[in-house]
Amino acid sequence: MNQIIKKIMKINLKRISFFLHLAILISASGTVSLFAQVAAPPADKPYTETTTFFILGALLFGLAIIFAAIMIFDVKERDIQAIKAEKKRKIILSDEQLLLDHDYDGIRELDNKLPSWYMFLFYLTIFFGIVYMINYHVLGKNNLMYDEYTQEMTDAQMKKEELTKTGVLININNVTELKDPADLQKGKEIFTTNCIPCHGVNGEGTVGPNLTDIYWIHGGGIKNVFNIISEGVPAKGMITWKTQLNPKQIQQVASYTLTFAGTNPSNGKAPEGTIWVDSTTNNVKKDSVSVKKDTVKSKK
């Protein structure tokens, strides 16, 4: 009976060995074919990113099958040989015999082999690294992290420039006076539509103050004018225009408003506020007392 069982086991082992070798050959041939396809895609139809990842995944799967088959076969062979050797020797090694010579802080190690599943994962990570290297560093199918970062920064800069052109990013801190005729024309259209009832056609002032003289109630210059148009003066009947105009439009109408300076129309309203002098360092409202002192000094 034992002889029959041994013969059956021997036959089954031979069959297992045969099928394992066959699986290795098939997987190896398929893997080589896939690698050749990835390395040399058709010139007229380059692979898409999805196709590339699919082929690389199949390549990794083929390599995994090969090494899994090798490991299974190797484990079977080693188990059989170990059993035979153990039966021949009739020796059972104790823990003392398996202990290695070295120790770490009193911890000693047995000379045991790592589990096959652990080794399989270890080899799998090696081949993942190989596929990763081929994909990113050899074929260049995908961008490296630095390339992705550079591309994202470039895209962000382009979006920022587009937003700056549309005026979304304009505020009181970075607004500048526009000189371009097209921008001033748009500012004039906005002024004509919304500002004439209070400031007159030529900025001479009606209900609102005169915009042509050097006197300003809330300060002159592009920053102050931009801010007063944006926030309004609800107490004096001037609405908050930032709810109806975007920052670019406010910049345009503020720049157009500054073109009235020095025109002095005949029907100009009497000055209101104080004399405002534009500083070379910052555009702020000057204190009326200091302005008067400067005026006195200039007369002398």
For the chain, what is the HEC assignment? Answer: CHHHHHHHHHHHHHHHHHHHHHHHHHHHHHHHHHHHHHHCCCCCCCCCHHHHHHHHHHHHHHHHHHHHHHHHHHHHHHHHHHHHHHHHHCCCCCHHHHEEEEEECCEEEECCCCCHHHHHHHHHHHHHHHHHHHHHHHCCCCCCHHHHHHHHHHHHHHHHHHHHHHCCCCCCCCCCCCCCHHHHHHHHHHHHHHCHHHHCCCCCCCCCCCCCCCEECCCCHHHHHHHHHHHCEHHHCECCHHHCCCHHHHHHHHHHHHCCCCCCCCCCCCCCCEECCCCCCCCCCCCHHHHHHHHHHHHC
Phi and psi at residue 262, to the nearest 5°: 85, 0
With pLDDT > 90 as the criterion, what percentage of the chain qualifies? 25
Dihedral sign for Cα 180, 181, 182, 187, please.
positive
Q: In the structure, what pLDDT confidence band is assigned to residue 188 with cuts at 50, 70 and 90?
A: very high
Q: In the structure, what pLDDT confidence band is assigned to residue 153 with cuts at 50, 70 and 90?
A: very high
Report whether pLDDT(142) > 80. Answer: no
Domain parsing of the chain, residue ranges: 2-147, 181-287
Q: How far apart are CA 145 and CA 263, in angstroms?
A: 59
Question: Which residues, including other chains, have CB under 8 Å from residue 41's CB and lie 6 or more apart?
Answer: 47
Q: Distance from CA of residue 58 to its chain's centroid?
A: 30
- Which range among 87-96, 189-198, 252-261, 274-283 shows the weakest confidence by mean pLDDT? 87-96
List, for residues 59-109, the tens digit of each pLDDT value: 777 777 776 766 666 666 666 666 666 655 544 456 566 677 777 777 777
Determine the pLDDT at residue 14: 53
Report whether pLDDT(291) > 50. Answer: no
Report whether pLDDT(42) > 80. Answer: no
**Tokens standing for residue 85:** 């050797």
Q: 181-287 — its CATH code?
A: 1.10.760.10
Determine the pLDDT at residue 241: 93
Determine the pLDDT at residue 290: 37
More confident residue, 68 or 143: 143
Report whether pLDDT(184) > 70. Answer: yes
As beta bridge partners, residue 274 has: 216
More confident residue, 129 or 141: 129
- Which range among 68-72, 147-151, 203-207, 224-228 shows the weakest confidence by mean pLDDT? 68-72
Report whether pLDDT(25) > 80. Answer: no
- Which range among 35-39, 75-79, 260-264 shows the weakest confidence by mean pLDDT? 35-39
Q: Pick from 230, 219, 269: which is nearest to 253 by CA?
A: 230
Longest dimension (CA), the chain: 133
Report whether pLDDT(258) > 80. Answer: yes
User: Which residue type does 294 have?
Assistant: D
Q: How far apart are CA 103 and CA 110, in angstroms?
A: 10
Enter the pTM of the model: 0.47
